[in-house]
Structure 1
Amino acid sequence: MANQRTTAVPQVRTMARGEFQQFSLVPSDRLPAIVGDAVAVEFGRFIDQSESAIDFKQLFDILSAFALKLDFPWVGYCRLAYDQEIMEPAGDCPTIVLNYPDKWQERYVQMGFRRIDPIIKRSRRQACPFRWSEVYKDGKTTELERSILEEAATFGLRSGVSVPLHGPGGNFAVMSFVQPCCSETQNKTVTYLQSTALYYHLRVARFVELSGLDKVPNLSCREKECILWVAKGKSSWDIGAIIGISENTVNFHIKKVLKKLDTSSRTAAALRAASLGIIEL
């Protein structure tokens, strides 16, 4: 996943019949590297090591090592904004961190799969963790969305568990733990993955806070006034008449707000301003 746009219409590769059948979950004889009480011990070690992490890379390395012990060699973490766009990096804070196969990452970006990714779609409307098999079998999942999961399987990403991580203002993140085998992840393991994702997400937020990267943009009084009226549904002409300035001047202030809040539309800017506490609706 990457913050790139494309207008290409996805042309999804067709899976071989055997590969498609493998995607349907069949009980696996493979066991995680750790089982039983050992999982709790390793989870505690993950917490302790994460507390000592000095940067984002080290934190992700610790996360990946723990996930591998649960038989999930691939992990992906992505922070998204309320408007479905990937959030812009804040300083050294990454918006996407993953160790998926390089070829799949290239294919995903090239075909613009993020726009129709069923994992992101489900994460947007669900708070609980879910298995990829649940998305695949869901009647609401379209054939095009399902084909993305099928193609991911051809690159080795055959089953996974994703954890939505929702925050204020509609912003959210999603963390996925992925396996090369088709196995049904036990509920207890899913619970550990959820706790792991939440802790990682909170540590990232803490890094951002300590780095001073999460500061609220500074808007002038006039900019706040204009975006407040935008939030109330007023046009630029209406706003100009209300506060006694020209329509062009209103548009000038709104454009500055869009830039400061890193948004592409008036509505998105109004929503972001409200979520950051810049204006009160």
Structure 2
Amino acid sequence: MRIADYQLAVEAAADIWSLWEVCQAYTQARGFRRYYYAHLPPIGAPDEGELRFRTEGFDKDVVRTFFESGCYQAGRLLQHAKANLHPFYWDEVPSDKRTLSDPEFYTLRRRAEEIRGICIPVFGPNGRNGLASLEMPESKERLNSEELHELQWAAQLGHLRYCALWVPELGPQPRLSPREKEILIWVARGKSNPAIAEILGISVHTVDAHLRRIYLKLGVFDRITAAVRAIGVGLINTGQSAGLPLENEPLSPPKVTNAGQ
């Protein structure tokens, strides 16, 4: 399967199961026989803490012992992937004294032989990230740069499609007014209610009233949880501009100056 055909098939996948079949066809055509994908919901999302994964080629006992038991969340590959932006090979992950007792050590070895693999961190909307981990074909120790870039692109495409299919299953997003979003952005930036009132030119009582409505809409009971939930479901992000003109009040274009003036 060519990468162009794979991309079209991914975009056409109507559900998670058909998407997995497309990813299987692509990876197996390139000699990968054992691999897994993990979806990491962001903090504050409705599915926070629910590690979702799909595996191929692992024994059922391994899947039950390592993945379904929750041991996977402490695995060195997952922890390393969370802290890195770029693909890495299994043998590049620092080991420690726990290696021999780490369930991952058992999972990622076959009999007594060393095996090689590669992990590809993938990234989605609002911090909805993931990890694709593949055992290398027996004839390969490393991928060349073209193979690596294509595999990274394929993993990212699959992850984004997974997010697009899965997030709607979590239910509709709460609806916040522009003012409520504005207040939550300042809450997420650590501002107190009096400070927010001063920034926005409204009373503290008005800020309090907005927050009470926000709590009700988001199903939370305090300001910090409200901000975390809003970020987790994509209602706000801390990079948004708060207190600037609204959509119907466009900003003036920046002035252009000649270099050297």
Same fold per TM (> 0.5)?
A: yes
Q: Residues 44-193 of structure 1: matches in 2 within 5 Å?
A: 44-83=4-43, 88=47, 95-99=52-56, 100-109=58-67, 111-135=69-93, 138=94, 141-144=95-98, 147-154=102-109, 158-179=115-136, 184-187=141-144, 188-193=146-151
Using a 3 Å threshold, how does the CA distance of structure 1 residues 58 and 251 change in structure 2: closer, same or farther? same
Using a 3 Å threshold, how does the CA distance of structure 1 residues 45 and 127 change in structure 2: closer, same or farther? same
Cα shift at 1:61: 0.9
Would you say 1:244 and 2:205 are equivalent positions? yes
Residue aligned with 2:219, SS:
helix
Q: Please tell me the residue identity of whatever aligns with 2:205.
A: G
TM-score by length of 2: 0.63
- Number of residues of Structure 1 aligned to a counterpart in Structure 2: 227
Using a 3 Å threshold, how does the CA distance of structure 1 residues 193 and 226 change in structure 2: closer, same or farther? same
Residue aligned with 2:23, SS:
helix
Contact 2:37 2:131 in 1 (8 A): yes
The CA distance in 2 between the partners of 1:280 and 1:216, in whole Å, is 21
Q: Give the share of equivalent positions with the same residue, in percent.
A: 21
Cα shift at 1:179: 5.0
Cα shift at 1:163: 1.3
Provide the alpha-carbon RMSD of the alignment. 4.4
Residue aligned with 1:274, SS:
coil
Unaligned runs of 5+ in 2: 244-261
- Which of 269, 273, 278 is residue 229 of structure 2 equivalent to? 269
When Rg is computed on C-alpha atoms for both structures, the one with the higher figure is 2
Cα shift at 1:64: 0.9
The CA distance in 2 between the partners of 1:105 and 1:196, in whole Å, is 24
Residue aligned with 1:203, SS:
helix
Q: Residues 3-82 of structure 1: matches in 2 within 5 Å?
A: 42-82=2-42
TM-score by length of 1: 0.59
Q: Please tell me the residue identity of whatever aligns with 2:121.
A: P
Using a 3 Å threshold, how does the CA distance of structure 1 residues 142 and 230 change in structure 2: closer, same or farther? farther
The CA distance in 2 between the partners of 1:110 and 1:213, in whole Å, is 21
Unaligned runs of 5+ in 1: 1-40
